[in-house]
Structure 1
Amino acid sequence: MQGYKSQIRTSTINSLKEKVSRKNYGKYLLKLNIANVRALREQIITFDFPVSALIGPNGGGKTTILGAAATAYASVKPRQFFAKSGKFDESMTNWKVEYELIDRSINRTDTVRRTAAFHKSKWSRDAVDRFAVILGVSRTVPANERKELQRCASGTFEVADGNVGAIRQSVADAVQKILGKSIADYSHIKIDTAGRVSLLTGSTGEGTRYSEFHFGAGESSIIRMIMEIEAAPENSLILIEEIENGLHPVATVRLVEYLIEAADRKAIQAIFTTHSNDALLPLPPEAIWASINGKVFQGKLDISSLRAITGQINASLAIFCEDEFAAAWVRSMLRARRELELDGVEVHAMAGDGTAVTINRHHNLSPAKRFPSSCVIDGDSKQLTSDQDHVYRLPGECPEAYVFDRVLEAADASGRLTIRLSQPFAEAARLIERLREIRRTNRDPHLLFSQVGEALGFIPVEAVQEAFFTTWAEAYPTEVDELIEKIRALLPAGRVALANA
């Protein structure tokens, strides 16, 4: 989502991470060790943030992890995620999951360890008590397709006034922030005496009432999800499958922000699966786990990088970089070498050097890989370079400072940089002095390019970076070649055209 800025403060994110590290919860699932479930073997997942995302290709193991988390608790029946169909499910033999969790009703000072295992056609587990809310994909089924609501699809349908209640204020406030519309006049109708079947009603701006049969699937699912989460007690576990189902990307982001706010306010723990990059935007890297071909990886990966890792794209090379700036810099270097055919080269930003190196190694070791990959780390990375693993290092220590300073050192670069920054050529000398002033007063090199954009009339930071990248590549072709020649060697011969062809 271009230009995304989270409405969750960084201080809130840091406070929640610290709360987990201090184990300051009444109930909390800290760690799963999936010894053997489906394709996952000896995989450890730690929940270092109270809102966690599970990503990966279809069949990669996201729902397996979600179900394994749920099975730690007595309120969830394992068959909700792991149903056995007689002799047709022989693979469930010897399944086992080990847990480390917090439950202050059992141990006031230390963590608790539990196990769930499937032996002799049934589950054996010493589960603990915890309130859990499971929000499956069926939540987005439209009202007119839900059998339990068919009795309401009649012109003579009525209920007693006592069965019609207003939406709680906390629910209305949260839904308004997610959907951007008021539901202050909406109602919740209990259809049966136990309240297990219910119908929502809404109201137009003119006061005309309408039933849930005329809601959008996304609107209905959001209201019902928030109602369940707000009704849940503190320290509850919330499990959501495919959080983005039926939602606009903006609403998806706001829903995840709501979960973070609820985690801060109610000490809930939420785990969700997703195929959406937007759902990952509000989360810190340690809150995201990818499950790929039976292996799990912690860190922020985008969905397109997953497609590259699993070979779901027609590529000739994937390059995994430490962050967005490094990825943009590498793309610029590749474009500077016109003899390279780049339509088969995928460059992906990871969230950290460790993630980039790990993903690259996993990809290259996979027997199912369809093309090689490389990893490019920053100059100050503690990770080691390796020709064998195709791990290479960018020049300089801090990438932003290096590119900025080297361009200012290039005596003949001022005019070209001025034009690329959309400034009058006659102002080149003044512009360079202005850039030097920004550099002298800068405290954080990561902000250099955004500071330049603001100083020159709110030029997008991506445009400023590209101007510097292109100018740097022209001024220092030897430094470009040092990295690109290593990458070129990984490309099939047909992808490298003759320079004079």
Structure 2
Amino acid sequence: MPLSKEVRRLERSWQNETAWPKRLDWVEIENIRGWNGQRIRFPFPIVAIAGENGSGKSTIIQACAAAYQKQQSKGSVKQKGTKYASDFFPNTFWDQITDASVRFGYTEGKVSKEGSIRKHTERWKGNVERPIRPVQFLDLSRIVPIGGRVGYAKIAKSAHIEASAQMFDESRLGRLSNILGHRYDQAKMALADTDPDRPIPVLRRASAGYSGYHQGQGETTIAELIQTDLPKYSLVLIDEIESSLHPRAQRRLIRDLATVCRERELQIILTTHSPYILEELPKEARLQIFEQDGTRQAMIGVSPEFALSRMDDVQHPECELYVEDEAAKTLVTEMLSQRDPDLSARVTVIPYGAASVGYQLGQMVAKKRFPRPVGVFLDGDCAVGEGCCVLPGDDAPERVIFEDLARIGWGDLWIRLIRDTSVVSDACNASLPLSDHHDWIPEAAKRLMIGGNILWHAMCAEWVKRCLKKDDYQRIKGYVDDRLSDYA
């Protein structure tokens, strides 16, 4: 799906070389919870990390939180408001953290620097030398209901009155209403006279007021997030951002954060299991963590479909075939469906996103690191990659199919689309001069007054019937057969 205007504006701002003078570029985690020095990069102001439970997502954002200090340390005294590696990675009876380190690369102004915190035996070293930056770490404790939090039940059970309150201004109130999809008349963070240290969200909606003790957890979570102070250039870390939120609220939250991120030049790193969160972000902002043969890997540029396929427990066909995008998915599906329906029934086709992801997956295919048959297809304009199969033609699928069909006068495409032959020909020919081939399908579909997916499926079907060479199909079929036989 297309990116929202908020995320597109963030993309444009990110291109400004003077923007985001403080940013964390990468971290390497050594000998902590299964991480062995793999480098995790953060190439966009908002990065979403996906992966199964236990894959190491939370460890990444904890390491990021420990990379900075709130202000310059004075000796070994811990600062209030600063996170330490020992907070996240303590020694216990069951866990002994030794020979561990967190290395990180960061940018200040136009200068790229590196730093580290390390623990060889008893103590973490390097805390005093950490760079200075505001950090907000929002872990899963935020989704604990108000009544279940330490000290809050006591407030409810005692005789109390409101001692003070911090009202939401119009901007924050509008953000709250927009994210949750309800009109709130008022919102505030209140303190009871019996406890000055535990704020309670109080909302008013449809002339009825109610506190965090009676709110849905999504309301409490968003109210507290919006009221959190996020100074300019802050690093914001959020664990399982989608928790307690329905899909529309998840999408609206990312769009809201994109606006705040752009205005304050924040860096936001979050973890998620949600495809709705991933769909709201560009390819370079999606990071997938998974484990193969005991080694964790971080893959940038995955599609939401690929991320979800690596996290679900649904029974799939015998073989998974990965392709770059939806256009390639339709093409591969149509080739197999027309030429070999039985083989088509044995596979599922999933978009993976960026071509770089395809090359990484291909290397894993070559080394047989998947537990089941997997194949990887690259678009025709990509170089051959280890373990991969390149689609027919020497160009992107859209260019190959449009140009081949144009040479045969568009064949029987008009019959498939139930349109006059001249109307189909004019619409498709009018798209060819556009410089970006990604615009060809939308432009022709608009002229034909049909959906782009309908047009593309019809074009793929006609191309497979009339233009696909026997040798090209045999090469593709042979590749899929080989993947199936790898695990026979």
Query: What TM-score range do you get, normalising by the shorter chain?
Result: 0.7 to 0.9
Quote how far apart the aligned CAs of 1:199 are.
Answer: 1.2
Quote how far apart the aligned CAs of 1:202 are.
Answer: 1.8
Match of 2:465, SS? helix
Q: Which string of whole-angstrom CA distances, capped at 9 and with x for unpartnered residues, describes residues 37-68 of structure 1?
A: 22222211222211111112221111111111
Match of 1:295, SS? strand
> Of the candidates 355, 358, 367, which is equivalent to residue 356 of structure 1?
358
- Stretches of structure 1 that go unaligned for 5 or more consecutive residues are 497-501
Q: What percent identity do the matched residue pairs reach? A: 23
Quote how far apart the aligned CAs of 1:221 are.
Answer: 0.4
CA RMSD, aligned part only? 2.9
Quote how far apart the aligned CAs of 1:4 are.
Answer: 5.1
| One-letter identity of the residue aligned with 1:418 | W
Determine if contact 2:50/2:271 at 8 Å carries over to the other structure. Answer: yes
1:249-328 equivalences in 2 (<5 Å): 249-293=247-291, 294-302=296-304, 304-305=306-307, 307-308=309-310, 314-328=316-330
Aligned to 1:329: 331
> Of the candidates 425, 438, 442, which is equivalent to residue 434 of structure 2?
442
CA gap of 1:350–1:192, structure 2 versus 1, over 3 A, is farther
Determine if contact 1:309/1:363 at 8 Å carries over to the other structure. Answer: no
1:115-130 equivalences in 2 (<5 Å): 115-125=116-126, 126-130=129-133
Quote how far apart the aligned CAs of 1:196 are.
Answer: 3.3
| One-letter identity of the residue aligned with 1:224 | E
Match of 1:340, SS? helix
> Of the candidates 411, 415, 421, which is equivalent to residue 417 of structure 2?
421
Quote how far apart the aligned CAs of 1:192 are.
Answer: 6.3
Match of 2:242, SS? coil
1:31-180 equivalences in 2 (<5 Å): 31-74=26-69, 75-86=82-93, 88-90=94-96, 92-103=97-108, 110-125=111-126, 126-154=129-157, 156-160=159-163, 163-180=164-181
Distance 2:432 2:111 in 1: 50
Q: Which string of whole-angstrom CA distances, capped at 9 and with x for unpartnered residues, describes residues 441-483 of structure 1?
A: 53332112111221122x2211111111111111134356244
Distance 2:410 2:435 in 1: 27
CA gap of 1:38–1:365, structure 2 versus 1, over 3 A, is farther
| One-letter identity of the residue aligned with 1:489 | D
CA gap of 1:184–1:237, structure 2 versus 1, over 3 A, is farther
Quote how far apart the aligned CAs of 1:224 are.
Answer: 0.7
Distance 2:355 2:448 in 1: 32
Quote how far apart the aligned CAs of 1:146 are.
Answer: 2.8
Q: Which string of whole-angstrom CA distances, capped at 9 and with x for unpartnered residues, describes residues 215-257 of structure 1?
A: 21111101111211xx221111111001111111121122122
Distance 2:18 2:410 in 1: 57
Distance 1:116 1:83 in 2: 14
| One-letter identity of the residue aligned with 2:225 | M
Q: Does residue 484 in structure 1 map to residue 479 in structure 2?
A: no
Distance 1:263 1:351 in 2: 24
Quote how far apart the aligned CAs of 1:213 are.
Answer: 2.2
Match of 1:127, SS? coil
Aligned to 1:499: none
Aligned to 1:219: 219
Quote how far apart the aligned CAs of 1:73 are.
Answer: 1.6
- Stretches of structure 2 that go unaligned for 5 or more consecutive residues are 70-81
Distance 2:125 2:330 in 1: 51
Distance 2:141 2:161 in 1: 26
Quote how far apart the aligned CAs of 1:214 are.
Answer: 2.3
CA gap of 1:197–1:363, structure 2 versus 1, over 3 A, is farther
Q: Does residue 453 in structure 1 map to residue 460 in structure 2?
A: no
Match of 1:296, SS? strand
Quote how far apart the aligned CAs of 1:339 are.
Answer: 3.8
Aligned to 1:467: 458
Aligned to 1:233: 231
CA gap of 1:393–1:216, structure 2 versus 1, over 3 A, is same
Determine if contact 1:308/1:346 at 8 Å carries over to the other structure. Answer: no
Aligned to 2:401: 403
Q: TM-score, normalised by structure 1?
A: 0.85
| One-letter identity of the residue aligned with 2:416 | R
CA gap of 1:56–1:363, structure 2 versus 1, over 3 A, is farther
Determine if contact 1:8/1:261 at 8 Å carries over to the other structure. Answer: yes
Match of 1:8, SS? helix
Q: Which string of whole-angstrom CA distances, capped at 9 and with x for unpartnered residues, describes residues 89-129 of structure 1?
A: 13x2111121122346xxxx523321111222332223233
Quote how far apart the aligned CAs of 1:34 are.
Answer: 2.6
Distance 1:180 1:98 in 2: 41
Q: Which string of whole-angstrom CA distances, capped at 9 and with x for unpartnered residues, describes residues 235-280 of structure 1?
A: 1111100111111112112212222211211111110001111112
Quote how far apart the aligned CAs of 1:493 are.
Answer: 6.8
Quote how far apart the aligned CAs of 1:82 are.
Answer: 1.8
Match of 1:151, SS? helix
Q: Which string of whole-angstrom CA distances, capped at 9 and with x for unpartnered residues, describes residues 156-184 of structure 1?
A: 54223xx1231133322322232222334
CA gap of 1:347–1:324, structure 2 versus 1, over 3 A, is same
Match of 1:214, SS? coil
CA gap of 1:460–1:44, structure 2 versus 1, over 3 A, is same
CA gap of 1:303–1:121, structure 2 versus 1, over 3 A, is farther
| One-letter identity of the residue aligned with 1:454 | K
Q: Which range moved further: 180-189 or 259-268?
A: 180-189
Distance 1:23 1:475 in 2: 53
Quote how far apart the aligned CAs of 1:304 are.
Answer: 4.3
Aligned to 2:79: none
CA gap of 1:5–1:352, structure 2 versus 1, over 3 A, is closer
Distance 1:73 1:385 in 2: 39
Determine if contact 1:375/1:391 at 8 Å carries over to the other structure. Answer: yes
Distance 1:314 1:144 in 2: 42
Q: Which range moved further: 290-299 or 305-314?
A: 305-314
Distance 2:233 2:196 in 1: 24
User: Aligned pairs, how many?
Assistant: 469
Q: Which string of whole-angstrom CA distances, capped at 9 and with x for unpartnered residues, describes residues 5-48 of structure 1?
A: 413253530321x34xx464443212212343222222112222
Match of 1:256, SS? helix
Distance 1:412 1:129 in 2: 62
CA gap of 1:59–1:10, structure 2 versus 1, over 3 A, is same
